[in-house]
Copies of this chain bind each other. A is one copy, B any other.
Amino acid sequence: MPTPEAAPRSGARGQHGAARGTAAQRPAAPVPVPQRLMAAATRLFSERGYDRTSVQEIVEAAGVTKGALYHYFGSKDDLLHEIYGRLLRLQQDRLDGYADADEPVEARLRRAAADVVVTTIDNLDDARIFFRSMHQLSPEKQKQVRAERRRYHERFRDLVAEGQRRGVFNAATPPDLVVDYHFGSVHHLSTWYRPDGRLSPQEVAEHLADLLMRALRP
């Protein structure tokens, strides 16, 4: 799993070394096959859903053959799992960064709440796939994803609970429920947000973070 961006991890059979050291020599290195496949799959899964996207369509969009896909990914399911992993890792890393910061808990929660909105909008295809197609993942992979998701949820929840303990947040609502409240709206973004709409990602993020912080006022 060389690079965190798009490399196949579990289930991927092959070891691929992209363009080994040739980046400087050949200015226009072609995009490696695994990345091309991930990009095509992401777009198509987002557009039509996982079950409605055939492997044939993916390889055609990526300009490779089916054999190549199965050389790098063990199954169609693996491709979906990779997309999940990519988003989960990204979000977990960012949340950890905010949660560990040296700031009052209100500021840390607010920044984290706003950032996840921007990140979700910036990866709206991934997010749409995430919320729409999780149940189409194989049971064991689903379990794994859920475990990673839970870790994320708990980190976020601990921020809420800390604020409640410190008395800076309203303690009337169970912190788990607060997290689900906020993440419901993040989840929902992929349903209604349009890049060409009136509000920029940052504006949406500010508004949603404001709503959360106001809802948590003592």
Chain A residues within CB distance 8 Å of chain B: 48-49, 51-52, 132, 135-136, 170, 172-174, 177-178, 180-189, 191-192, 199, 204, 207-208, 210-212, 214-217
**What separation, in Å, do the CA atoms of A199 and B184 have in the docked complex?**
18
Chain B residues, Cβ within 8 Å of A212: 215
CB pair A170–B49 under 8 Å, yes or no, is no
**Is the CB–CB distance between B132 and A177 below 8 Å?**
no
Q: Complex: how many Å from CA A181 to CA B170?
A: 19
Contact between A181 and B214 (Cβ–Cβ < 8 Å)? no
Q: A183 and B173: CB pair below 8 A?
A: no
Residues from chain B with a CB closer than 8 A to the CB of A215 are 211-212, 214-215
Task: Determine chain A's interface SS by DSSP, over half rule.
Answer: helix
Cα distance, A178 to B188, chains bound together (Å): 12
Q: Which residues of B contact A48 (CB under 8 A)?
A: 135
Closest Cβ of chain B to A61, distance in Å, is 16
Residue of B nearest to A47 (CB): B135
In the complex, A136→B183 CA distance in Å?
24
Residue from A185, A210, A216, A217 having most chain B Cβ neighbours under 10 A: A185
Q: Are A174 and B207 closer than 8 Å at their CB atoms? A: yes
Chain B residue nearest to A50 in the complex (CB): B51
By a CB distance below 8 angstroms, the chain B residues around A217 are 214, 217
A185-B185, A188-B183 are known contacts. Are A173 and B136 too (CB-CB below 8 A)? no
| Contact of A135 (CB < 8 Å), options: B49, B181, B216 | B49
Known: A51-B52, A217-B214. A180 touches B185 (CB 8 A): yes
List 18 contacting pairs A-B, 8 Å CB cutoff, sorted by A. Answer: A49-B135, A51-B136, A132-B132, A170-B214, A173-B207, A177-B204, A177-B211, A178-B211, A180-B192, A181-B185, A183-B188, A184-B189, A187-B187, A188-B188, A212-B215, A214-B214, A214-B216, A215-B215
Nearest-CB residue, chain B, relative to A197: B176
